[in-house]
Structure 1
Amino acid sequence: MLFIVLVLVLAALGLLITALITANSLWAWISIGLSVAAGLLLVVDFVRRRVARRRASAVAEQGEEPAVAASTDDDEPSTPEATAVEKPADEPAPETAAAEVEDAPVDQTALIPTAGELVGTAEEGEPGEESTDPADAEIVDELDVEVVVVDEHPRYHLTDCGWLADRDTIPISVKEARDLGFTPCARCTPDAHLAEAHRAKA
């Protein structure tokens, strides 16, 4: 976007010089038009960046909701339904037992990701969180290197992460991503790679 604006400004400058040399007002009007177009592109780029930051903040807030849901599900064994399942002495009727067997896989699917989700396939699921070394975490917290996030997903990734596939990504600095509550992807391990690259430069 900025490259296009630069080209338009240079073209407008060239046309303005041509208008002054040839004393032709048409070139001056075209130069003004290109300058206005460059200004509009700058405004559009500014608005797009603000929208991307707001979306990233919303993703960070939504990333906390699954943890709350998981803790609520962990408390479910204290409910009467869970107690009824744990009692071996009270054998339910065949129809009730069949209904409980059919319902159990649904609950487990909601609580435990499938094998494909643990790996983080491009079609479905969320990659796990990278276990970052404390020394790497201290380095990454101070870096302004760019990573990417995906709307409504709590992880940040390297730009070449295989999980991203054709998803729409939002570029953001790793420091800002961590400040907003995003966590590193276990598949592309951004913290380890960025810390190692920083040490190599140092």
Structure 2
Amino acid sequence: MLFVVLLLVLAALGLLVPALTTSDTIWAWSSVGASVLAAVVLIWDWWRRRPGDPAAAAQSVDQLAVADDQRVVVPAEADMPPADEEPPEEDTDAADLLAVADLVDEVRVLDERPRYHLSSCSWLAGRPTLGLPAQEARQLQFTPCAVCRPDATLVSRHRAARQEVSDDHA
């Protein structure tokens, strides 16, 4: 969303140059229009993500469970792959896979590694990671880590938040 706003602001600046160099007011009004459109997009994005909005709560379930995600998942020694080996892939249920495809909760990925993880995954232990929405990680062909089980965790959080929202409205 910020990318769209950035493009609109750059367009407004680009339209401002001919407005200042010529006497044609259409350029100035076009610049003002692009700026107003950028403001409308920002307000719409804020409105979509405002606190207390059921749609925003369902969309960003990860924020509702930040405290839960802060605890570090410590698997049994037998489950822990060596540091130079990739952890196994989580066996994801088909229904969960469809739900993960729509989630925007952040997962962590490592450069040149095929798995995505929760931020609390013990396998990450001090490695530099990048944050991506879960749906984007799936689109980029990353697969879930079996150590921290991000698909099962994110889907259960998403379902719990949806249930909580529907209970609040009932």
Query: TM-score, normalization: structure 1?
Result: 0.41
Question: RCO higher in 1 or 2 (8 Å CA, sep ≥ 6)?
Answer: 2
Query: TM-score, normalization: structure 2?
Result: 0.48
Higher helix share: 1
Radius of gyration: which is bigger? Answer: 1
